[in-house]
């Protein structure tokens, strides 16, 4: 059990990190990822330190990323969410863990914190030599009439309450917000037999993805019976419905809010610490705040952004764990700066997976950062081996030096593998063309001799060298309006099954013979996914014709059109 011994009072010798007559006293505020990583790592480095952890909820170490799956019954036992208990942490690490306890006062200069039990209101003071803040983030609760009826999902207690609501068999639910947690919650509610609608104020679901990939996730939601309302805000929540800004009313026995989170900086403000430009706690590379004896980690702090070079708010468990470890190292005298964050993330939505790393095109364009974008639609492994699944990949890179700026992927099996390779390449400083030379494990059940990541490297190499000038889907209509001839180099049967309006069928295998009847160009070329289009473009160049290839082919154009028109339903296929 957690210790009830009174902590040592703070003395002047402890302040400022000078020699102290007592063991180092460390107070960790907040558990879960960052706080518990710091506490356990510090214990491994310092057996004598007195480490106290206080956590306002009833659980100090739990799998918050698994909460939606408990609500949906995929994780059946609530105890499976609990990674550690105060009793086990005391036994193994001699940590004094106090749950249901919140900090209500911090005197930074006196190195003193006042804590209060959330159960009986009892208060006591903790003296510390070092303070580690890991307060996490708070769900955004907008000033919408009736929003107090809305469930959120951040703690085990939240999940237990939502599970009870689901067990009461509501007929209809509305999830407000189509981010990671919102999508996972919607899926699990739908799997519980509830009629589910997602409402998202932005014009698309999952805004970290660019629209032409996000629309694939919307199509997956629709294919599984989830209603999706994008580009419309919620104005009121009543006892039986959610009212939208356009006046419509959606029936809702259950409403879950997943609008986003904001850094919980209340303790930092209380301690007089600096707040960063994005509203999070400002910290150095080792996690130090503006006070020399106070550190901060996790969702509440601003992280150095690998792409932009400034800071950003990245609420990810793996980043919080890494920060916690680095803080413990610094306290113990091991100076190791945390690496900049690239924001790698992944989410499962029914049978599809969406993953991303770095910046998306929307963010790069808004920042005025030059970039090139390429799309591909490879199979996850050799097509002749049974069970091959297609995925959609997007790579963003610097148009001059090939620095990888971001990547996105949507598909089934193998998406996680590819985005992890690309994230590793970004961290290691590899350029986009260098992806072509990665020696990746290959056997037919796992990949192709040219892995999808290798193919992105070849494509980037062609673009940067000037060998292939690709057309973005949004450019195509403008080129056609200025006299470009749009050629579909797929087979006649593919052309008959669906083509870009105004295009001419010119199959690749007969293109040499057909060319005299096609005019002098210039030509905008497309195939299904871009590969045959590249071959046709190179052929035309050698025959003295001006030609450009449509990036990602007909498949990317279809996705971009579905995103532009707001009609994801046209992408639903029996395989969805």
Tens of pLDDT, residue by residue over 346-383, are 999 999 999 999 999 999 999 999 999 999 999 999 99
CATH class of 147-259: alpha beta
Give the model's pLDDT for residue 89.
84
Task: Look at residue 17 in the predicted model and tell me its pLDDT.
Answer: 44
Question: Confidence class of residue 155 from pLDDT cuts 50, 70 and 90?
Answer: confident
- Domain 351-465 is in which class? alpha beta
Q: According to the model, what pLDDT value does residue 198 have?
A: 97
> Token pair for residue 345?
């993330």
Domains 147-259 and 351-465 share a fold: yes
Does the structure show a pLDDT above 60 at 179? yes
Among residues 35, 32, 6, 11, which one has the least CA distance to residue 21?
Answer: 11
Q: How confident is the model over 429-448, as pLDDT tens digits?
A: 999 999 999 999 999 999 99
Q: Where are the domains of the chain?
A: 15-138+262-331, 147-259, 351-465, 470-571
Residue 125: beta bridge partners?
114
CA-wise closest residue to 360 among 309, 330, 332, 394: 394
CA atoms within 13 A on the CB side of 530: 29
Selection from 119, 125, 188 nearest residue 153 by Cα = 188
Query: What's the whole-number mean pLDDT along residues 387-405?
Result: 96
CATH C-level class of 470-571: alpha beta
By the 8 A CB rule, do 29 and 38 touch? no
Are residues 436 and 516 in contact, defined by beta-carbon separation less than 8 angstroms? no
The pLDDT score that the predictor gives to residue 305 is 87
Q: Taking CA 12 as the corner, what is the angle to CA 8 and CA 18, rounded to the nearest 5 degrees?
A: 100
Average pLDDT over residues 276-302: 93
What is the average per-residue pLDDT within 209-230?
Answer: 97
Nearest to 529 by CA among 572, 475, 470: 470
Categorize the per-residue pLDDT at 13 as very low, low, confident or very high, splitting at 50, 70 and 90. very low
The SS3 of residue 7 is coil
Q: Rounded to an integer, what distance in angstroms lies between the CA atom of residue 283 and that of residue 38?
A: 15
Which tens digit of pLDDT belongs to each residue from 70-123?
787 787 777 677 677 888 888 888 998 899 899 999 999 999 999 999 999 999
Phi, psi of 301 (to 5 degrees): -105, 160
Rg of the chain's alpha carbons, rounded to an integer?
27
* Residue 574 confidence (pLDDT): 61
Q: Is the C-alpha dihedral spanning 145, 148, 149, 154 positive or negative?
A: positive
pLDDT at 532: 96
Cβ-contact 551, 470 below 8 angstroms: yes
Phi-psi region of 561 (alpha: psi -120 to 50; beta: other; left: phi over 0): alpha
Per-residue model confidence (pLDDT) at position 157: 83
Task: Give Cβ neighbours of residue 363 (< 8 Å, ≥ 6 apart).
Answer: none
105/4: higher pLDDT: 105
- Alpha-carbon distance of 426 to 403, in angstroms, equals 8
Rounded Cα–Cα distance for residues 297 and 286 (Å): 10
The CATH number of the structural domain formed by 15-138+262-331 is 3.50.50.60
Sequence-distant (6+) residues with CB within 8 A of 444 are 381, 382, 384, 385
Which residues are paired to 394 by β-bridges? 375, 408
What does 96-141 look like in DSSP terms, one character per residue? EEE-SEEEEEEETTTTEEEEEETTT--EEEEE-SEEEE---EEE--
- Asked if the model's pLDDT at residue 154 lies above 60, the reply is yes
Tell me the CA end-to-end span of the chain in Å, nearest whole number: 50
The helix (run of H) or strand (run of E) holding residue 303 is strand 303-304
Within 327-480, strands assigned E span 345-349, 352-358, 372-376, 392-397, 404-411, 470-471
CB of 212 within 8 A of CB of 242? no
pLDDT of amino acid 178:
95
pTM score: 0.89
Per-residue H/E/C for 146-195? CHHHCECCCCHHHHHHHHHHHHCCCCEEEEECCCHHHHHHHHHHHHCCCE
Residue 576 has pLDDT above 70, yes or no: no
């Amino acid at each position: 059990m957690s210790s009830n011994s009174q902590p040592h009072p703070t003395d002047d010798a402890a302040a400022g990190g000078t020699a102290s007559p007592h063991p180092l006293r460390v107070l960790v505020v907040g558990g879960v990822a960052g706080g518990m990583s710091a506490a356990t790592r510090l214990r491994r480095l310092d057996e004598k330190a007195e480490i106290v952890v206080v956590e306002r909820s009833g659980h100090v170490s739990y799998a918050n990323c698994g909460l939606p799956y408990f609500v949906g019954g995929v994780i059946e036992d609530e105890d499976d969410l609990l990674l550690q208990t105060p009793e086990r942490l005391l036994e193994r690490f001699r940590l004094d863990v106090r749950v249901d306890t919140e900090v209500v006062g911090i005197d930074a200069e006196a190195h003193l914190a006042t804590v209060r039990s959330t159960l009986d209101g009892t208060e006591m003071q903790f003296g510390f030599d070092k303070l580690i803040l890991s307060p996490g983030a708070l769900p955004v609760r907008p000033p919408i009439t009736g929003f107090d009826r809305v469930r959120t999902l951040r703690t085990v207690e939240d999940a237990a309450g939502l599970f009870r609501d689901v067990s009461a068999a509501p007929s209809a639910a509305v999830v407000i917000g189509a981010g990671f947690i919102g999508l996972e919650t919607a899926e699990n509610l739908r799997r519980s037999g509830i009629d589910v609608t997602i409402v998202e104020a932005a014009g698309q679901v999952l805004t970290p993805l660019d629209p032409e990939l996000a629309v694939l996730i919307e199509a997956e939601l629709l294919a599984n019976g989830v209603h999706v309302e994008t580009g419309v805000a919620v104005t009121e929540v009543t006892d039986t419905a959610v009212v939208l800004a356009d006046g419509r009313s959606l029936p809702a026995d259950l409403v879950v809010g997943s609008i986003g989170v904001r850094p919980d900086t209340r303790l930092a403000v209380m301690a007089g610490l600096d707040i960063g430009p994005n509203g999070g706690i400002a910290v150095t590379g080792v996690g130090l705040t503006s006070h020399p004896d106070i550190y901060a980690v996790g969702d509440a702090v601003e992280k150095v952004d690998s792409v932009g070079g400034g800071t950003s708010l990245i609420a990810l468990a793996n980043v919080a764990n890494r920060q916690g470890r680095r803080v413990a190292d610094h306290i113990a005298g091991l100076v190791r700066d945390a690496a900049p964050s690239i924001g790698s993330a992944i989410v499962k939505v029914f049978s599809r997976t969406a993953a991303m790393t770095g910046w998306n095109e929307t963010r790069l364009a808004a920042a005025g950062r030059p970039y090139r974008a390429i799309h591909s639609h490879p199979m996850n492994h050799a097509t002749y081996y049974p069970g091959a699944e297609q995925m959609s990949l997007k790579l963003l890179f610097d148009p001059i030096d090939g620095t990888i700026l971001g990547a996105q992927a949507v598909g089934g099996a193998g998406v996680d593998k590819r985005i992890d390779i690309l994230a590793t390449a970004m961290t290691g400083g590899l350029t986009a063309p260098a992806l072509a030379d990665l020696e990746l494990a290959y056997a037919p059940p796992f990949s192709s001799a040219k892995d999808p990541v290798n193919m992105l490297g070849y494509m980037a190499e062609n673009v940067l060298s000037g060998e292939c000038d690709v057309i973005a889907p949004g450019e195509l209509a403008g080129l056609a309006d200025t006299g470009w001839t749009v050629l579909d180099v797929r087979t006649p049967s593919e052309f008959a099954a669906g083509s870009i309006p105004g295009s001419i069928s010119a199959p690749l295998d007969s293109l040499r013979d057909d060319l005299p009847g096609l005019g002098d160009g210039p030509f905008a070329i497309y195939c299904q996914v871009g590969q045959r289009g590249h071959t046709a473009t190179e052929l035309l160049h050698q025959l003295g014709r001006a030609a450009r290839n449509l990036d990602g082919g007909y498949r990317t154009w279809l996705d971009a059109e579905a995103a532009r028109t707001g009609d994801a339903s046209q992408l639903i296929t029996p395989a969805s």
